Structure 1
Amino acid sequence: MSTASEVGTEPLVTVTTTVNGQEVTATVPPRLHAADFLRQRLGLTGTHVGCEQGSCGMCTVVVDGEAVKSCLLLACQLDGRSVRTVESLAEDDRLNPLQQTFKEEHALQCGFCTPAFLMTATALGQQGRGCPSREEIREEIAGVLCRCTGYENVVTAIERWFAEHPQRAEDADPSPEALR
C-alpha cells in the first residue's frame, strides 16, 4: 500500500488485493470501508450492508480463509490479501453445491442474509476441520442475524453440505485456479 496522491485534504492510497481470484489495484481514500469498496468500486453487490457496525453480519466475506465483517475493515486493510465474496460461488451461472443445498433445505426466505451465511460456511470449509457438529455450525453463524428463517434450516443446509461434499468443503481453495 502506498500513498498515491492527495485530493483536497484527504490523501489517497493504492491498494492491491485479490478479489474472487482476480488481482485488483485501486486508489482509495484511507477511510473507505471494505464493504463500500466491494459494492461501490467493484460492483460486487452480493455483499450486503446492514448495520455498518459489525452487529448484523450481513457484510460477511472471506479474507485469507476467515469469515470477516467487511464493514469493520477498511479497504486499505485488504492490501496484499485474498478476498472472496458470494459472487465467487456460482459456477457458470449455476448454483454451486452449497448454494443448491441452501435452496433445497429452504435455508433462505427474504435472502438478505443468505450471502453472509454462505460465506461463513465457505470459510468454515476452508479451515479443513472436517464435518462440524450442529453446535459448531451454530457458533460459526452466530454473527449473522436473520429475522426470517429461524436458523434451523441454515444449520441443516450447512451440515448437509459438509456431509455430502466433505472433500469440496475441506479443500475449498480461494486460489484463482480453483475459482474457475
Structure 2
Amino acid sequence: MAAGRLSILALSAVLLAGCSEPAAQETADDFANRIGASGATVAVVQGDASASGAAGAQVPQGTDATQLQLVGNIDGVDLGTRTGGCTFQEVGREVLVTAGNAENGKGAIRVGGALVTLDAAGGIGAIRSGTTFSAQGVSISVAPTAGNQAKREANMVVTDAAGVTQSYSGDWICG
C-alpha cells in the first residue's frame, strides 16, 4: 500500500513537471522588432508635436532630469532613420530607448511624465559601444561592459543642467 502511494506521488510529480515550461528568453531579433529596428532602414517620419505622447527636445521646466521613469509607449517619438538600437534596463524597467544608423543616433527618456528625445554622438556603432546622449537640460552617458553580446551589464550617469548626477546600474540590450 505504501509502495502504491509512493508510485502515485512520483507519477504526479513527473506529470506536473512536464506541464510547466520555462519562460522564453527574448532574442535580439525579438528586441529589435519590439523597438522597431528589425534590421532594415526605415524612413524618417515627422511626428506631430501636438499629438499625445509626442516627445520634446528638452526637459520640462521644474522637472528633476536625473529621476528617469519607465519609458513606456514611445509611439510619439521620432528616433529617425535606424538600423539598430539599444535599451537601458534598470531592474527590468526600460529607462532609455535608443536607435541609430551609420551616422546618427537618437534616444528617448521619460522624466516628470514627459517624453524627451536625445541626440547621440556617433551612430549605431557608438551607441552599442556606449556613448553620450543629450538634450537641453540633460546629458546621459552609458558605459556597458566590454564585449559584443546583445545583453551586457552597464552603468549610466544622468547629469542635469546644474551638474547634479544620478547613477543607474542595469543592462544594455542591443539589437
State TM-score, norm by structure 1: 0.28
Higher relative contact order (CA 8 A, sep 6+): 1
Q: Please state which structure has a larger fraction of its residues in strand.
A: 2
Which has the greater radius of gyration? 2
